[in-house]
Structure 1
Amino acid sequence: MKVDILAIGAHPDDAELGCGGTLAKMISEGKKVAIVDLTQGELGTRGTNVTRAQEAASASEILGISARENLKMKDGFILNSEEYQIQIVKMIRKYQPEIVLANAVDDRHPDHAKAAKLVSDACFLSGLVKIETELDGEHQKQWRPKQVFHYIQWKNITPDFVIDISNFMEKKIEACLAYKTQFYDPDSKEPMTPIATKDFLESLTYRAQDLGRLSGVEFAEGFTTEKLLAFKNFDGIIL
């Protein structure tokens, strides 16, 4: 199944946190979106890999995701290895996205930056005809996305551009809160973590609001780009 956008995250909930509003907006405009989670998040302090899978399914339904897969790489130990690269190449060739959205290039969790580089390299390798892959017994054709963008996560990285998500902020929060075990719940008896605090939950709104303030919209999500972007014209730019 070909999609327009493939969002890849080291853990279930990375895509929702980093670019959930953008995904919801693109889907509302008729774009097909898929998500690939690299790990099951099994090292997370709260919840289990089973609950995370259930929560990911709920979040996908909220956003309207066309397909979602988990590659079950080893949480906490993502490597930019040939084995992991080929797994991602297979997903890129399966879904043939025009755009790939990947983890932040620098972040608090070491898996995020590692996944950013891993996905970037896999996107390039996926376009090489001499790298042969099969999926479900069928030969795959080479495919290279037109763009690889990295969403922003814990750290305040200066974005190269932002997407206006003013009408989709509530949808993003709803999708994030589908991960009930992970985020703020005053009644939870599980250990506290940095992302389970009330401040972190509130930061999703005020950080998007601040990017909106800087760009002249109500809420925005920021991205970095691996190469210089060229615009055909000024249509679509919010002035």
Structure 2
Amino acid sequence: MTRLRGKASRRRWPLALLALAVLGSACTAVFSSRLTVPPAAALAAGQELLGKTTVLAIVAHPDDLEWYIGGTLRRLADNGADVQVIVSSDGEKGPNRTASPDLAATRRAEQAAAGKINGYTRIHSLALPDRGVAADPRFLPEVERIYREVRPEAVFVFDPTYPSLPYLHVDHQGSAREFLKFWRTLGAGKPPVYLFQTRRPDVAVDISGVIGTKARALAQHVSQNGGNGGGMTGFFAGSGKAVGVAYAELFRVLRE
């Protein structure tokens, strides 16, 4: 009887392993990043984006812009676009690699320096509490006010539904959710929203020609990365490979 039970147990192992393999494949399909359109279509959509003349980017912290979409914003500025950005907090709870006695002031200065390199027309600093942006009652009214003042042809926010993993932050996805609540109340003719840090991109902007500028702008955030902006561009080489260029930034667009 013991030998029979042992044989039955061994027969169950392959079934268990098969179930784990199926589960692993399903998780990979759901949580991995993949382009949802052909590369040529994604690049064509990126060229359309680069034709916008006024854009508004909404982020949570200093360095979010330069890390995720700095190349795209630089290309827009090079095309003569009015590039306005909202930085919701000063990131005072982030790393402090320079041991600054006033990290919020340091990060504001770093953002200003990066913005000059990247050609932003204006930086709107809300100075809301780090890790409390989305929950702050002042956030959405300020964003709505600036939005109506700027009247952008395109808006950039984090992807709150399909964020690329593993890095998640309550301010990143939370601020995007709050903005999208407002955006969905707008009528016909509202601008498209380009969602970044997404694992379901359908838009690609070739940033190969401005990758050096992106790295210099990112390197201004010394308190966060020790000035090693150039060492952080490998991720965008991978995004570029997905669409057949050297470096790219990827987005998921919402139009209605």
The residue type equivalent to 1:117 in the other structure is R
Percent identical residues: 26
The residue type equivalent to 1:223 in the other structure is F
Instruction: Kindly provide the CA deviation profile for residues 32-91 of structure 1, in whole angstroms up to 9, marking residues without a partner as x.
Output: 101110111111131400001100110011011111111122211123566422111001
Tell me the secondary structure at the aligned position of residue 168 of structure 1. helix
Q: For the residues of structure 1 that align with 2:134 and 2:81, how far apart are their CA atoms?
A: 31
TM-score, normalised with respect to structure 1: 0.74
Equivalent positions of 1:81-230 (< 5 A) are: 83-105=138-160, 106=163, 107-125=167-185, 127=186, 145-152=190-197, 157-184=199-226, 202=231, 204-227=232-255
Equivalent positions of 1:2-151 (< 5 A) are: 4-46=54-96, 47=100, 48-79=103-134, 83-105=138-160, 106=163, 107-125=167-185, 127=186, 145-151=190-196
Q: List runs of 5+ in structure 1 lacking aligned partners.
A: 129-142, 186-197, 229-239
Count of residue pairs brought into register by the alignment: 194
Q: List runs of 5+ in structure 2 lacking aligned partners.
A: 1-52
Instruction: Indicate if the aligned counterparts of 1:85 and 1:121 stay in contact, CA closer than 8 A.
Output: no
Instruction: Kindly provide the CA deviation profile for residues 88-110 of structure 1, in whole angstroms up to 9, marking residues without a partner as x.
Output: 10010111111011123234222
- Aligned residues: CA RMSD: 2.3
Q: After TM superposition, what 4+ stretches of structure 1 lie above 6 angstroms from structure 2?
A: none
Q: For the residues of structure 1 that align with 2:109 and 2:148, how far apart are their CA atoms?
A: 26
Determine which structure has more spread, i.e. the larger CA radius of gyration. 2
TM-score, normalised with respect to structure 2: 0.69
Note the C-alpha offset of 1:217: 1.1
Q: For the residues of structure 1 that align with 2:134 and 2:169, how far apart are their CA atoms?
A: 14
Q: For the residues of structure 2 that align with 1:184 and 1:55, how far apart are their CA atoms?
A: 12
Q: For the residues of structure 1 that align with 2:59 and 2:155, how far apart are their CA atoms?
A: 11
Q: For the residues of structure 2 that align with 1:96 and 1:41, how far apart are their CA atoms?
A: 27
Tell me the secondary structure at the aligned position of residue 181 of structure 1. helix
Note the C-alpha offset of 1:4: 0.7
The residue type equivalent to 1:150 in the other structure is L
Q: Which has the higher helix share?
A: 2
The residue type equivalent to 1:146 in the other structure is P
